[in-house]
Structure 1
């Protein structure tokens, strides 16, 4: 049986999936995608697949990968998705397909316990807070039993724990093969397993970080892998832009000064006067921070000249000069002792790297790269990055049209086609041609046009094969869209936000919660979240109103915890209203009747004053294009599709989508944005919307309060 026939049979009515899952239903879109992935793995080249929600894209790429016999690399957007593929999907499919295949999970070094840094942290507990001591004791108990060293497997693990850097390493502080605990290094063990595996699951951050620094195992892994599958590919370009650029800031400087004082004092005491050097770096850094504006409308500052906007150019350059001078002094001191210990050699490398970045940012950015400054509550970071990854990655995809064959190749081709006329003595033996690498990119949202140009142009994939597979859901039956035309203009931010909150609150009252409100700005998040809290009488601590509806606001808990609460409310809570922004527009997966209403406050156009967006718009203008048509509108369409995709997650779901922006039906471009949404039925007025709410409320068994 041919490979493509085998794939088709696997997804058929009597295939391997149907045999192990009685509820399995063949989906033409899933089978079509799987066939395309199989062809790409066989023949090489690049395939870009936009697979609508419910297609089953994970199985559609994993099954061809598992049955191909090739070494395959799978990259996805987050560590949580890595775990889902590795611990849930792969074991099921290996059993269903009856194959024994060696798979490996590889994350970035900061995801793994570092035995050396754990010992270091335990040796420096004098003056530590009780909660830090207790946490390190928990880590020590877990360290005695773990095989993988993956911190996410530790009981009661919290991804944002402030203590994690104490027991994990970074590229800056890792000692590599010179580490005293190198034999117990979980990162090194994970890399060895990945190099020996048939299929390796990584994430986009690791993919680009390793391409950039060539030190985390990918430099060896990629060349030995013929097929690469990029899942959640809509995040691929932005992740690449982050890693293919340069970033620096106040926190790395402060961390370096602290590490130098601690390490150099312990290992090279008396060789240099380390205290004044560390103090000088810390002082110069804090003087640099004092240049930052006290109030900003947005956290990012444009940086087109020699200094970011709103900052005095002379003072900025003077601060960078001062930083360069103290870093140069520290570098000379460290170079004199670097051979005494691996820790000192690593500190020397860190200092040289920061001095290089300091000098880079003292000059002007090279076109077409863009710079900006980003302010945190107590820190500042500066960035220089490409506008997209196309130039960097285009050569790697190897999709350029092949050059005309040489005269020797033409002669060999003639000999091959006339083999019966050539004697064995004269024919020779030609080496089999090397097969082209296979690249598969897939996501539920990649663009708004047939060529998915927003994605392919940014990633340098203009020569890729494009496949768009629609969702199998019956959207006209399962969902309805309501665009209220009586809301204030979105430019009247406060009035509009209050009106959206009142609409969402009244609807959530009818449904008993079960509502997700997605905002386009943090200001709207705070306004709508606060208004709903007042309406339902719930405090930030988690109070709910007399009907058992509770309001949650992004940032109060982790995304995973909020999603778990939303899926299964505890006793006393009928349902939730969650107000969220940013990352909740995607990856928030709540199937079933726990979520029946999604409210989007306004059209999600990219912020026009964002430095990267502005630079991309200028590039389009310089080539005679229209930034609104080629950038703002496609970006909004993709984001809108992502937000709307939170509503219907399986065939039995029902729900309503509210778009609180009348421009969708009043502006000419609204038709293009509407076309990007799933084909839901339209509700024409508030009466139809209220009737649809009542229908949802009565067609299920109420959850007890």
Structure 2
């Protein structure tokens, strides 16, 4: 029996999944996707699947992967999804399928405790002067003696933004590799060995591209060479790749290097150079460089096509870069005189050379075909990247990687004997706005891939309604956010919370949050949560708790990452409010460069880029509302352009097929129905 035939049995009403879980019900879309994945694993090639919410795409690709007999790499967008697949989904499926396949979880270096850096931190006298950090360090030390994986997120009391984490974890820049004194106990090395021996490895997109860079540089690869790769949450794949295929230099990198230089030089080569002066000069030059952009609003991205980023003085900018070069050259000279035979000093020299190389790159005009910009914040960062990953990745979508083809060509002809073609599967709930999913496939160089769209099994016409308030001011009107807040607070009051408000800007987020808190201050039974007042995971858990905390429900006002990955099924969430159509920022350097390319080819950037991007983001936001077959809710979009502009019909068509509410009266009636128990 062929794999795709076995898959149909597994997902059938009497199959392995149904026998394992009495609540399992066959879903035509899930089976359709699983069969397509199985056929791709059997025959090779590239498959792109857009699977609507509720399809069950994770099982639809994991079951064929587990039964294929292939070594499989699964790449996800986030560490949280990695953990979910490895710790929850795989154990369930292994038990249901009756297999003992060996799986491994692999994250980047910064996710693992570094025993050597922990040792250095414990010996750091300056750290002992800070009691709170010293107590945290002691807790890390105790946990280090008991942990098997070294995964820092498993540590009790783990805090993602703890200033202690960089002191007890390593990065690509400061890792000593096989020359580390603690290499035998290295958790990263242990995780990689497990990955090399595993049948299925779960990684994330950042690690995927980091491994590709290492492999192409001629160094030993981080991940096992596999014939089958599955990319989940693929809508983030291109943007992640763009980061890795370019170059970047940030003030934080330079400040960290100056700090490490002082510590390492003083500890290992005291008296052989004036490390304090060298570190001070580099730190001072870095701070002067950063000051040039101190008037730029945090989060802004400045286009850089000439000698300097827009809005910055070109002469002062170039002078600041030259003044950065001098201390780097002085550090390089000092390290060359002392680094012989000392791995840590050798690594410091390599870091210095890498920083200098990137600085020289940014002192030159931008490379043709690349886009360059500055990102502002507490620190600044300059970046240069390709517009997308298509050109770099197209060779990889073939039967073998270029490096493998070169190696095989050194052998006899029979070494090139027929082998199953490499299989690539890409999937997400939101990949495009048309039947060809062109927004995704073109950016990734996958125009020749097989494309499959699987609709959600949810009955949106019964479960959800869409309302676009026609009386709201235009989105560009200064009074728009306040008017939407007034409209929303009435609905929130009737529902007793149970609302997610998604904004397109942080300014609107702050204004909406303040307005709702003021208007609903008298309601003790409603809790207003705001992005930034806790981690995403903490806010999501608090929102889900709802009435269990003594509240009728919560309201969460959020932006950015909350448009996706926020999951609150059931009665905890019954109203989603989106303030405006999520068009990409028109002044974003990458979007500007992509627009210029489209128009140079005779296309229309707004129709071919901005509208599809908005459609994908809108689908992601709307997808927060209905997460289960029993969920009910209303989606409110406070943007009348959907009703009056020519592109409004395209954007509405991209949404799930919810029933449309045509009037305020119908909206109020729908709210009232949500307050009643569901029929049956």
Farther off after superposition, 10-19 or 431-440: 431-440
Structure 2 residue matching 1:319: 3-state secondary structure: helix
Corresponding residue number in structure 1 for 2:656: 678
Alignment partner of 1:656: what SS? strand
- Does 1:561 find its partner at 2:538? yes
Distance in 2 (CA, whole Å) between partners of 1:429 and 1:143 is: 50
Residue aligning to 1:449: 434
Are residues 17 and 614 of structure 1, via their aligned partners in 2, closer, same or farther at CA, if it must alter by over 3 Å?
same
Asked whether the 8 Å contact 1:606–1:636 carries over to 2, the reply is yes
Corresponding residue for 2:466? 481
Contact 2:214 2:222 in 1 (8 A): no
Aligned 8 A contact 1:210 1:218 in 2: no
Q: Distance in 2 between matches of 1:286 and 1:98?
A: 59
Q: How far apart, in 2, do the equivalents of 1:367 and 1:520 lie?
A: 32
Q: How far apart are the structure 1 equivalents of 2:211 and 2:129? A: 35
Aligned to 1:324: 325
**Which position in structure 1 is the counterpart of 2:304?**
303
Preserved contact between residue 371 and residue 593 of structure 2 (Cα < 8 Å): yes
For residues 252-292 of structure 1, give each alpha carbon's deviation from its aligned partner in whole angstroms, at most 9, with x where no partner exists.
11111111111111111121121211111011111112211
Alpha-carbon distance, 1:547 to partner = 4.4
By how many angstroms is 1:340 displaced? 4.2
Q: Could you tell me which residue of structure 2 aligns to residue 438 of structure 1?
A: 423
1:297 Cα shift? Answer: 8.5
Q: Following superposition, which runs of at least 4 residues in structure 1 exceed 4 angstroms of deviation?
A: 215-219, 428-432
Q: Rate the CA distance shift 1:282–1:293 in 2: closer, same or farther, 3 A.
A: closer
Matches of 1:20 and 1:144 in 2, distance apart? Answer: 38
Distance in 1 between residues matched to 2:399 and 2:624, nearest whole Å:
35
Where 1:107 maps in the other structure, the secondary structure is coil
- Over 3 Å counting, the alpha-carbon distance change for 1:31 and 1:106 in structure 2 is same
Matched, 1:535 2:535: no
Q: For 1:168 and 1:350, locate their aligned partners in 2 and report how far apart those are by CA, in whole Å.
A: 17
SS of match in other structure, 2:555:
strand
2:536 equivalent to 1:551: no
| Paired residues for 1:184-583 under 5 Å | 184-214=185-215, 220=221, 224-296=225-297, 299-376=300-377, 378-398=378-398, 432-492=417-477, 494-537=478-521, 545-569=522-546, 570-583=548-561
| Per-residue deviation, 1:248 | 0.8
Deviation larger for 270-279 or 39-48: 270-279
Q: Report the secondary structure of 1:253's partner residue.
A: helix
Cα deviation, residue 293, structure 1:
4.6
CA spacing shift, 1:429–1:89, aligned 2, 3 Å: closer
If you compute each CA radius of gyration, which structure gives the higher value, 1 or 2?
1
Q: C-alpha separation between the residues in 2 aligned to 1:30 and 1:294?
A: 52
Q: Cα offset for 1:235?
A: 0.3
Q: Quick one: structure 1 residues 330 and 337, their matched pair in 2 at CA, closer, same or farther if it must change by over 3 Å?
A: same
**Deviating more after overlay: 566-575 vs 26-35:** 566-575
1:634 is matched with 612
Q: Conserved in 2, the CA contact under 8 Å of 1:227 and 1:438?
A: yes
Give the direction of change, closer, same or farther, for the CA distance of 1:597–1:266 in structure 2 (3 Å limit).
same
Match in the other structure for 2:407: none
Q: Where does residue 65 of structure 1 map in the other structure?
A: 65
Matched, 1:42 2:42: yes
Q: Distance in 2 between matches of 1:210 and 1:432?
A: 27
Give the Å deviation of 1:510.
0.5
Deviations 1:337-390 (A, max 9, x none): 1114211001000000000011000011112111111111x2111111111000
Cα pair 2:619 2:655 within 8 Å, conserved: yes
Give 1:221 shift. Answer: 5.9
Structure 1-normalised TM-score?
0.92
State the alpha-carbon separation in 2 of the partners of residues 298 and 672 from structure 1: 30
Give the Cα separation in 1 of the matches to 2:168 and 2:678: 48
Shift of 1:620: 0.6
- Native 8 Å contact 1:593 1:653 kept in 2: yes
Q: Distance in 1 between matches of 2:566 and 2:164?
A: 27
- Cα distance, 1:595 vs. partner? 0.2
Q: CA offset at residue 213 of structure 1? A: 3.1
Indicate conservation of the 8 Å contact 2:211/2:221, yes or no: no
Where does structure 2 lack aligned partners over 5 or more consecutive residues? Answer: 401-412
Contact 1:500 1:660 in 2 (8 A): yes
For 2:408, the equivalent position in structure 1 comes to: none
Is structure 2 residue 588 aligned with structure 1 residue 590?
Answer: no
Partner Cα distance (1:261, 1:332) in 2: 15
TM-score, normalised relative to structure 2: 0.96
CA RMSD of aligned residues (A): 1.8
Bigger drift between 245-254 and 85-94 goes to 245-254
CA-to-partner distance for each residue in 1:605-637, whole Å, 9 max, x for gaps?
Answer: 000011111111111111110001110000000
Look up the match of 2:630. 652
1:9/1:15 contact within 8 Å kept: yes
Given that 1:390 and 1:459 are in contact with CA atoms closer than 8 Å, whether structure 2 keeps it comes out as: yes
Count of aligned pairs: 665
Deviation for aligned residue 1:572: 3.0
In structure 1, list runs of 5 or more residues that go unmatched.
401-427, 538-544
Q: 2:641 aligns with which of 663, 671, 674?
A: 663
Measured after TM superposition, the shift of residue 2 of structure 1 is 2.0
